[in-house]
């Protein structure tokens, strides 16, 4: 059997689908090809609306998004294979995260909903596709998130070193690999880029604050920062996970931010991400390996480094994996785990009652 897998991931930033073609060995991996696939603008708009407005989550609209996002993920996989010049018959499985529309692990009837129909992907690629990775963990009482920690542990654990893997996506999450061999822990720390993207979108119509240049022009307002940090999410004990449905402009608007200079708010939001991230890490790390799009935000990374004196903060590149592809590779790895009948969640992270083989397997249709 081949050991080639594809991982497809799109996070809360909705900046595009990350696709990675990966070969797995027993304790190693090789990334053969990567591809970043943009959503067509109208589909991205529809997704943003469905995330924002409950009225946009009618059954017919969600079904339509499920199919159309599935088609887009299929295109990402097909383009990836073309670039790699690899035939689909040599790929064992695709692990497709899909696009989260709603993540409610703490609701009385908990769920996490991703659109991007695995059957559509399997039918059109001829490759068995695993999707819906979060539900099994939620049914076992877990958060269904974060799911990358088991992969981080497999790839990055280093006996004798307290290593933290920090993923700065729309939401930030940490994985704590303990040097003493105790159970890996981890959780969502709160906003990464999502509020920075939303605020610059509102004031300047830009998708993101390139290199943190706008934030660097502002002054952090410490009173506002303290009020934002007083949100109960930050002090809540793990297991915990969050999303765009919580940390968004409506949340920010509850703090009467209108009286401040927009650039000062951007600087303060950068400090909010940096402080909540470093509060979670401080005292737990000899070394921090960073991945996710936030690593390109120079101002944010400067703040994170400043608050972790004596800790070695570096990109995951130093441990052999490009920081832009860690999440997509994690879903290729999760597909490999499921295909081999192995669990993909870490109960010490998600709070699930036990490990589980994750996802729904959509058999290849020829
Ligand atoms: N050069 C850059 N400067 C500042 N921010 C950046 C840069 N490149 C990427 N980003 C940020 O990274 C985000 C995408 O990160 P990603 O890890 O893909 O998040 P997600 O998993 O939520 O999709 C963008 O929305 C943007 O905020
Ligand atoms: Mg992304």
Q: What is the pLDDT of residue 120?
A: 97
pTM across the whole model: 0.97
Ligand 2 center–CA 293 separation, angstroms:
7
Percent of residues, the chain, with pLDDT higher than 90: 97
What is the reported pLDDT for 168? 98
Asked if pLDDT for residue 136 goes beyond 90, the answer is yes
CA of 18 to the centre of ligand 2 (A): 7
Give me 299's structure tokens. 């101002």
The closest ligand to the CA of 208 turns out to be: 1
Q: Which of 357, 365, 328 is nearest to 5 (CA)?
A: 328
Distance 294 CA to ligand 1 centre (A): 5
Q: Residue 1 pLDDT more than 60?
A: no
According to DSSP, residue 174 is labeled E
Q: Give the residue from 267, 258, 288 showing the smallest Cα distance to 195.
A: 267
Q: In this structure, how many other beta carbons lie within 10 angstroms of the beta carbon of residue 33?
A: 17
Q: Measuring CA to CA, how many Å separate 303 from each of 213, 266, 274, 326?
A: 13, 13, 6, 22
Atom of ligand 1 nearest to the CA of 13: 22
Confidence of residue 26 (pLDDT cuts 50, 70, 90): confident
pLDDT value, residue 269 = 98
Is residue 134 scored above 80 in pLDDT? yes
- pLDDT > 70: percent of the chain: 99
Q: Read off the pLDDT of each residue in 180-191 and give the average, rounded to a whole number.
A: 98
Bridge partners (DSSP) listed for residue 314: 289
Stretch 219-226: mean pLDDT: 98
Distance CA 3, CA 365 (A): 20
State the average pLDDT for the chain. Answer: 97
* 8, 39, 294, 301: residue to mutate for ligand 1 pocket, most atoms within 8 A of CB: 294
Residue 366: its pLDDT value, please?
65
Average pLDDT over residues 48-69: 96
What pLDDT, on the 0 to 100 scale, is given for residue 246? Answer: 95
């Amino acid at each position: 059997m081949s050991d080639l897998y594809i991982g497809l991931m799109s996070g809360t930033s909705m900046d595009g689908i990350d696709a990675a073609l990966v070969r797995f060995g027993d304790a190693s991996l090789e990334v053969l090809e990567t591809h970043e696939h943009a959503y067509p603008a109208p589909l991205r708009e529809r997704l943003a609306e469905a995330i924002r407005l409950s009225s946009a989550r009618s059954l017919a609209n969600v079904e339509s998004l499920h199919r159309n996002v599935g088609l887009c993920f299929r295109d990402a996989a097909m383009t990836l294979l073309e670039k790699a010049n690899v035939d689909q018959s040599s790929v064992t499985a695709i692990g497709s995260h899909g696009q989260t529309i709603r993540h409610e692990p703490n609701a009385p009837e908990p769920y996490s909903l991703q659109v991007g129909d695995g059957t559509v992907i399997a039918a059109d690629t001829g490759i068995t596709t695993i999707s819906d990775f979060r539900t099994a963990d939620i049914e076992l009482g877990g958060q269904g998130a974060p799911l990358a920690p088991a992969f981080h542990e497999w790839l990055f654990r280093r006996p004798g070193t307290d290593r933290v893997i920090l993923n700065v996506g729309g939401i930030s999450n940490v994985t704590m690999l303990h040097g003493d061999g105790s159970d890996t822990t981890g959780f969502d720390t709160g906003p990464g880029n999502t509020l920075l993207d939303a605020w610059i979108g509102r004031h300047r119509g830009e998708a993101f604050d390139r290199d943190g240049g706008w934030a660097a022009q502002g002054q952090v307002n410490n009173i506002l920062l303290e009020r934002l940090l007083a949100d109960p999410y930050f002090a809540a004990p793990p297991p915990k996970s969050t999303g765009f449905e919580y940390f968004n402009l409506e949340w920010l608007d509850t703090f009467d931010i209108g009286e401040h200079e927009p650039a000062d708010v951007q600087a303060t939001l950068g400090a909010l991400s940096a402080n909540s991230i470093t509060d979670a890490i401080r005292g737990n790390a000899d070394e921090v390996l960073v991945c996710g799009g936030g690593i390109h935000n120079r101002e944010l990374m400067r703040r994170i480094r400043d608050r972790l004196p004596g800790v070695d903060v570096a990109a995951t590149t130093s441990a052999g994996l490009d920081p832009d592809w860690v999440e997509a590779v994690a879903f290729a790895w999760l597909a490999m785990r499921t295909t081999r009948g192995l669990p993909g969640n870490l109960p010490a992270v998600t709070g699930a009652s036990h490990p589980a083989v994750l996802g729904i397997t959509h058999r290849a249709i020829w």
